[in-house]
Amino acid sequence: MTNPQLFESQMYREVIRQYEEVSEFINLDSNIRERLKYPQRALVVTFPFRRDDYEEVETVVGYRVQHVLSMGPTKGGIRYAPDVDLGEVTALSILMSWKSAIVGLPFGGAKGGVAIDPTSLTRAEKQRVTRRYTAELLPVIGVEKDIPAPDLGTDEQTMAWIMDTYSNFVGSPQPGIVTGKPAALGGSVTRREATGRGAVAVTAQAMDKIGKTYKGSDIVIQGFGNVGRYAALDSYERGAKVIAVNDLGGAIINPNGINIPELFKHTAKNHSVAGFDGADKLSQDILELKCDVLIPAAIGGVITTSNVNNIKAHVIGEAANSPTTVSADKILRDNKVLLIPDILANAGGVTASYFEWVQNRQNYLWKEKDLHEKFIDIMTSAFEEVWTISQKNNCDLRTAALIKGIKRVAAAKLTRGLFP
The reply to whether omega before 420 is within 30° of 0 (cis) is yes
Picking from 327, 328, 324, 314, the residue whose alpha carbon sits closest to that of residue 345 is 324
Picking from 294, 222, 218, 224, the residue whose alpha carbon sits closest to that of residue 257 is 218
Report the relative pairing of strands 293-296 and 315-317 from DSSP bridges.
parallel
Report the relative pairing of strands 250-253 and 280-281 from DSSP bridges.
antiparallel
Per-residue CA distances from 345 to 123, 204, 320, 368 (Å):
32, 11, 9, 21
Bridge partners of 64, per DSSP, are 43, 112
Q: How many CB atoms are located within 10 Å of the residue 57 CB?
A: 9
Q: 281 catalytic, yes or no?
A: no
Cβ proximity of 326 and 14 under 8 Å: yes
**CA-CA distance, 151 to 160, in Å (whole number)?**
14
**Residue 300: partners with Cβ closer than 8 Å, 6 or more residues away:** 11, 320, 321, 322, 323
Picking from 403, 367, 359, the residue whose alpha carbon sits closest to that of residue 382 is 403
Dihedral angle of Cα 347, 95, 142, 72, to the nearest 10 degrees: -80
CA angle 273, 279, 281 (to 5 degrees): 70
Compute the residue count for the chain.
420
- Active-site residue identified among 37, 75, 99, 111: 111
Cβ proximity of 238 and 200 under 8 Å: yes
CA angle 32, 35, 40 (to 5 degrees): 130
Cβ proximity of 243 and 291 under 8 Å: yes
Q: How many CB atoms are located within 10 Å of the residue 59 CB?
A: 8
> Among all residues, which ones are annotated catalytic?
111
